[in-house]
Structure 1
Amino acid sequence: MPLRARLNGKEIAAYSYDDRAWKRLKAAYRKNRLQMACCDREAVPKTSKLGTQYFAHKQKGDCPTAPETKEHLYLKDLAARAAAKNGWQVETESVGQTPEGEEWSADVLCSKQKSRMAIEIQWSHQSVEEYERRQRKYAASNVLGVWLYRLQGSKQKGYKVELQDSYELPVFGIAHDRQTGEMRVPKFRTGIEDFVSGMMSGRLKFSPKPGEVLTAQVLGAAVGEPETCWHCGCPMKYVTGFDIVTTSGDRLRFAQFGEDGVAELIERHVPDHLLASLGYGRVSSRYIHQNQLAPDCGLTCRRCHRNNSGFYCGDKSYGLGSKPVFFG
């Protein structure tokens, strides 16, 4: 069920028609020559049960295109519309080949200047090996392949994430929200159109890049009770962790004090005199708190060096790989 056809020899796209124009096309296509873009057979403009405008063969016959589910067609239409709105030249059901002659077909091929991106909708199951095989074809053709695949499970019971996204294979799970009726990308808590718009406008980035030098911005907060050192009355502030920031200034995430390696990194690279000049006490990665080894968040008084309660900030541990991040 393609989204492209030819009207009197001129290529047209179903997603470029608004409701009124689509109704006019339906009323007038018999008086014109409407052909399928895939095989030149006579075409009929139709609307699916999900409200997707598309072209169908007037009569059944041999055609190289495979049948599509209504969900696949709906998602392909959403992606094409979002890409077009963001200034990309869009061609659905686009066929190409690698320099070695291997053919590929993209659901939605988007072009802007020298950049090309193929958006693939994968509603049925596909093995990781098949994803990688098809992705290699895109890479060889200097096309960035991005995959939107159907998540198994539910919002209530949790989704089963079958694939791990990476810079080499950008894959993003999609699901139908029964409450809103919207197709969404649960990982980013957004709808398909907003997700594709963000991706096409440069808000979706994989960070950090391989070999990129990151900056850690140490953050802290004032202590509520007690507000001053119990021994000398000096005002107290404690370190809460640090922001991890890219060279372009994008904030990747907040590393909380108490995560593995955070206290050690601050202790090693931020001198005590600098912390003291900002109102913080000494940071220690080794402090005995309630008979357990725990990091001290800087509640050692900067003036008298007495400890104020041995505040402990948690023990969660997270790794930092190259992950897709949305920037507003």
Structure 2
Amino acid sequence: MLLTKGRVRIAIEVQWSRQSQDETARRQSRYASSGVRGLWLFRQPRFDTSEEIPAVRISGNPFDGYDVFVPTGAGEQVLPLSSFISAALNRQYQFGLPLGAAADVEVRCGNLDCWKCGAETQIIIGLDISIGPHKLSATIPDLGNCPDLVRRTLQAIPAQASLGRIMHRNSREAGFRYLSNGCAHCGALIGAHYEYQAWDRQDVVARFPTVVDERMRQLAIDLGDEPGWGVHR
């Protein structure tokens, strides 16, 4: 099936019988040489997918309708077939973390007793970032190269929060300088080895929207995440 929208041409192959990866790669190469984007809908449960070969699993029947299962790298994103085809034609079906894609951030904070002065202080335990079907979870030390994301995070946290300064500090124990939480009272570095004490007393304190930039892409790589295909807003 060949679909066209403007200059975009997509050949959709609905593969109901089992097909080898070598055969898929061969046919995909033929599409590419003709300036056509090949998109594969497999009924078989196991198949390889990559940036060069977009492939999804399809399930259902003509009476109840069909669903598409997009391999995201960490799981599957489920959409009705019609929604998936619309997303593919509108370039919302993309590989990895596309620049400019919408992202939603949740900020988790918790309380603990400062190891140095003993006073109770609040720290940022982590950020949960949703980008289409992909999710990243980062701690403050992970965000040393994401100053804009840190700034947006601090702006979103309620003013009444008893939060210490987020800044780069030297750690004698770690042997290097890194972005860290601090005690709201004495300013002492609250290292990652202390943060577990706040895990049982944590809540989501802020949410805000943002978009994917190069630094967020690099953050995903640094965290060891390898997002695959997904439908984005």
Change (3 A) 1:190 1:174: same
Change (3 A) 1:252 1:287: farther
Query: Match of 2:85?
Result: 196
Change (3 A) 1:304 1:218: farther
Query: Match of 1:326?
Result: 231
Q: Which amino acid aligns with 2:9?
A: R
Change (3 A) 1:280 1:131: farther
Q: Residues of 2 paired with 1:240 and 1:232: CA distance? A: 22
Contact 2:67 2:79 in 1 (8 A): yes
**SS across alignment from 2:143:** helix
Aligned length in residues: 185
Partner residue of 2:138 out of 257, 263, 266: 257
Is it true that 1:136 corresponds to 2:13 in the alignment? no
Change (3 A) 1:251 1:124: closer
Unaligned runs of 5+ in 2: 70-75, 158-162, 200-222
TM-superposed CA distance for 1:109, in Å, is 0.6
CA distances 1:249-304 after superposition (whole Å, capped 9, x unpaired)? x667442236xxxx554246659x9798974545789898xxxxxxx995531441
Q: Residues of 2 paired with 1:119 and 1:191: CA distance? A: 16
Contact 1:281 1:302 in 2 (8 A): yes
Query: Match of 2:122?
Result: 236
Q: Residues of 2 paired with 1:265 and 1:303: CA distance? A: 24
Is it true that 1:305 corresponds to 2:187 in the alignment? yes
Partner residue of 2:95 out of 206, 227, 252: 206
Q: Residues of 2 paired with 1:197 and 1:213: CA distance? A: 19
Change (3 A) 1:114 1:270: closer
Contact 1:241 1:256 in 2 (8 A): yes
Where relative contact order (Cα < 8 A, 6+ residues apart) is larger, the structure is: 2
TM-score (norm. length: structure 2): 0.58
Contact 2:141 2:179 in 1 (8 A): no
Q: Residues of 2 paired with 1:255 and 1:122: CA distance? A: 33
Q: Residues of 2 paired with 1:281 and 1:218: CA distance? A: 20
TM-superposed CA distance for 1:170, in Å, is 0.8
Larger fraction in strand? 2
Unaligned runs of 5+ in 1: 1-107, 153-160, 245-249, 289-295
Change (3 A) 1:189 1:242: closer
TM-score (norm. length: structure 1): 0.44
Contact 1:121 1:147 in 2 (8 A): yes
Aligned residue runs from structure 1 range 113-152, under 5 A: 113-152=6-45
TM-superposed CA distance for 1:125, in Å, is 0.9
Q: Residues of 1 paired with 2:108 and 2:8: CA distance? A: 44
CA distances 1:50-88 after superposition (whole Å, capped 9, x unpaired)? xxxxxxxxxxxxxxxxxxxxxxxxxxxxxxxxxxxxxxx
Query: Match of 1:66?
Result: none
Q: Residues of 1 paired with 2:123 and 2:15: CA distance? A: 51
Change (3 A) 1:287 1:252: farther
Q: Residues of 1 paired with 2:51 and 2:141: CA distance? A: 30
Is it true that 1:162 corresponds to 2:31 in the alignment? no
Q: Which amino acid aligns with 1:184?
A: D
* Percent sequence identity over aligned pairs: 21
TM-superposed CA distance for 1:221, in Å, is 3.1
Contact 1:110 1:117 in 2 (8 A): yes
Aligned residue runs from structure 1 range 83-102, under 5 A: none
Contact 1:238 1:280 in 2 (8 A): no
Contact 1:238 1:297 in 2 (8 A): no
